[in-house]
Structures are given as C-alpha cells and as structure tokens.
C-alpha cells in the first residue's frame, strides 16, 4: 500500500484534489490528483439527474499522531456532487504530535455540494486539528454536516485525555456566513459545563445554504413527526428523553446543532432533515449512498 511522505513529526501526509463539472447532463470527475493513501472510489450515479456520488477512501482506516490529510474539491457551474465516507474516521491516541485534517470546497454558480461524511471518533488520548472551509459563489448551494464523537460511549470509553480543535467555516465569496470553532480539551471546562457540552459525548453541526431561507420551522416539524412524548418533546428512541437539537436561521444559511449521547440518534435526525429539505435544493428526492447500507 502506497503511503505519503513523512511529515517530520512521525506521521504521513496524504492529499486528494478533485474537480467536478457538468458534462451532458451528468456530473463527472474531470480532474483528480492524489498523493499518499487518500483516494476516491469509482463514482456512482444512482440518480436520474446525473448527480455524482463520491466515496472518499483512506485505506489505513485511522489517523495517528502526526498524520496530515488534505482534501480539496471544486464543483464547477451546474455540477451536483454528493461526497461521503465509507465508515467513521477514527483518530487514535497519540503521545506526541497532533494530527491535521483539512477539507476545503469551492462551489461555483448553480452548483450543489452535499458533504455528508460519517462521524469522526476521537479515541481517548487523541489530539487533532480539524478544519473544513466551504466557499460558495453567488447562486451556489451547500448541504453538509460533521459529527464528532468523543471517546466510544457504546463501549464505555470516555475522552479522558487529549485535545480536539474543530473549525467549520462557510463563506459566500468573501463574506463569512458561519464561522465556528470548538476547542475541546479533555481536562477543560467545556466538556462538562452546562454552557458547554454538559458531559455529552457527541456534538454535530449541519449547514443548509443557498436554498430557501428560514428552514428552521420545517426542520422542527419534520423532527416532530418521528415521535412525540406525552410532554410534546421531540425524542428519537423509547426513553422519552428530549432530543438535544436546535435549528437557527442565519443570513444566508440555516444551521442545525446537536449535542447528545448517541451517534445513531444524531445520524437519524440529520438524515431525516436531509430527506425533507433536499428536494428544495435539487428538485429531486434524497437517494441514500449505497455505502451507508454496507
């Protein structure tokens, strides 16, 4: 298995650069370059409108201290790409350098990017700097999410050591629409405080930009259909525990935030929202990537 050049910190670098363009009513990958263990699977076309479904592959299956992974993608005018991952991204324990993950997307006029990766799991003792930047041209659209799980709660493992810094930025040309920075230190106050994560291991953000404005009422309505407790709180399981999710309408985007105990709970809520709002962005219903079913 080919690996990238050493970073000088004991890790390895990997880089993947993509360009997607509309060709004869179908979105094609027109340019691709890679370095190290970062690839794309052969594009899938499960939708009648020619939307390209891309799966980003990282063959090592996990990120260790000192690794640097970089993904950049340009969607040209009129293109529609859905980008996902085959499984969770695992950030393993390190006793030395931090790992770096960088994702940068440029979406040109009339294009739609759906950035729908599976969750990132930070193992106890992990250290990483994760940055995602999306730049939209006028008339471009974006649907995306990022889920972060601290530790492995299903296995009873907490995030007792380490540090995660996560940055998520959305720009329309040179205007910032949404800038978010999480600095999560295992021994810091943010993880436990009521004004922070309140001891919840999962935090996630979903962004809807370039489509209809004021989507938060629709989001609350669609989640309410899943299940309602006698008190009227929205819940997603049989515990009658309220779903810790909120939607806010900004100037140019709607942002949905989840803080809670469960990746499956968050995943189900985000997919429900995506299935409801997607026709408002693309004119077609949501088709789940086949990799999610494997």
pLDDT at 176: 97
- The 3-state DSSP composition of the chain as helix, strand, coil percent (nearest 5) reads 10, 45, 45
pLDDT at 252: 93
CA distance linking residue 103 with residue 142, whole number of Å? 14
Mean pLDDT of 73-86: 97
Identify the residue with better confidence: 195 or 71.
71
Contact (CB, 8 A) for 148 and 203: yes
Whole-angstrom CA distances from 106 to 1, 11, 268 are 30, 28, 28
DSSP string of 138-153, one letter each residue: TT-EEEEEEEEEESBG
Band of the pLDDT at 12, cuts 50, 70, 90?
Answer: confident
Closest to 149 measured CA to CA, from 157, 137, 139 = 157
Mean pLDDT of 166-191: 93
Q: Is the model's pLDDT at 195 over the cut of 90?
A: no
Q: What is the mean pLDDT of the chain?
A: 90
List of E strands, the chain: 13-23, 26-35, 39-40, 52-57, 68-75, 80-84, 89-91, 99-107, 112-115, 120-122, 127-136, 141-150, 163-172, 175-185, 202-209, 245-250, 253-260
Q: Is the model's pLDDT at 248 over the cut of 60?
A: yes
Six-digit token string for 181: 């920075």
Q: Which of 46-55, 87-96, 236-245 is most confident?
A: 46-55
pLDDT at 156: 86
Percent share of the chain, pLDDT over 70: 90
CA distance linking residue 202 with residue 199, whole number of Å? 9
pLDDT at 231: 44
Give the range among 163-167, 191-195, 241-245 with minimum mean pLDDT.
241-245
pLDDT at 249: 96
Contact (CB, 8 A) for 64 and 94: yes
pLDDT at 11: 79
Mean pLDDT of 80-109: 95
CB neighbour list of residue 45: distance below 8 Å, 6 or more residues apart: 26, 51, 52, 53
Mean pLDDT of 158-168: 93
pLDDT at 254: 97
First to last CA, the chain: 23
CA distance linking residue 260 with residue 237, whole number of Å? 13
CA distance linking residue 196 with residue 198, whole number of Å? 6
User: For the purposes of burial, counting CB atoms within 10 Å of the CB of 113, is it exposed (0-12), middle (13-18) or buried (19 or more)?
Assistant: buried
Band of the pLDDT at 240, cuts 50, 70, 90?
Answer: low
Contact (CB, 8 A) for 99 and 60: no
Identify the residue with better confidence: 239 or 94.
94
Six-digit token string for 90: 């695992």
- Give the global pTM: 0.91
CB neighbour burial string for 60-92, b if at least 16 within 10 angstroms, e if fewer: beebbbbbbbbbbbbbbeebbbbbbbbebbbbb
For 249-266, how does the pLDDT look when each residue is reduced to its tens digit (9 = 90+)? 999 999 999 999 999 999
CA distance linking residue 230 with residue 92, whole number of Å? 42
Mean pLDDT of 194-208: 93
Q: Is the model's pLDDT at 93 over the cut of 80?
A: yes
Given CA atoms 286, 77, 139, 180 in this order, what sign does their dihedral have? positive
Six-digit token string for 160: 């007792």
pLDDT at 42: 92
> Domain extents for the chain?
13-201
Mean pLDDT of 41-60: 94
Q: How many CB atoms lie within 10 A of CB 217?
A: 10
């Amino acid at each position: 298995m080919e690996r990238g050049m050493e970073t000088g910190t004991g890790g390895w670098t990997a880089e993947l650069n993509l360009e997607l363009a509309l060709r004869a009513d179908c979105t094609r990958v027109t340019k691709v370059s890679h370095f190290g263990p970062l690839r794309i699977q052969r594009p899938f076309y499960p939708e009648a409108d020619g939307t390209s479904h891309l799966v980003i592959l990282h063959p090592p299956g996990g990120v260790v201290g000192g690794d640097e992974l970089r993904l950049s993608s340009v969607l040209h005018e009129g293109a529609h790409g859905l980008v996902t991952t085959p499984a969770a991204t695992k950030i393993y324990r390190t006793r030395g350098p931090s790992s770096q993950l960088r994702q940068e997307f440029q979406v040109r006029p009339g294009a739609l990017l759906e950035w729908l990766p599976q969750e990132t799991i930070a193992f106890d003792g992990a250290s990483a700097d994760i940055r995602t930047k999306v730049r939209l041209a006028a008339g471009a659209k974006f649907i995306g999410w990022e889920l972060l799980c601290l530790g492995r709660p299903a296995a009873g493992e907490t995030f007792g050591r380490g540090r995660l810094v996560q940055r998520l930025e959305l720009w329309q040309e040179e205007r910032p629409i949404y800038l978010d920075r999480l600095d999560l230190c295992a021994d810091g106050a943010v993880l436990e405080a009521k004004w922070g994560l309140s001891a919840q291991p999962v935090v996630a953000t979903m962004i809807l930009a370039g489509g209809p404005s004021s989507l938060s009422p629709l989001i609350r309505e669609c989640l309410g259909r899943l299940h309602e407790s006698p008190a009227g709180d929205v819940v997603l399981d049989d515990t009658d525990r309220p779903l810790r999710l909120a939607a806010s309408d900004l100037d140019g985007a709607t942002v949905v935030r989840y803080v809670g105990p469960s990746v499956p709970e968050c995943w189900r809520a985000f997919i429900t929202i995506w299935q409801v709002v997607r026709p408002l962005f693309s004119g077609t219903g949501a088709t789940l990537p086949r990799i999610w079913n494997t």
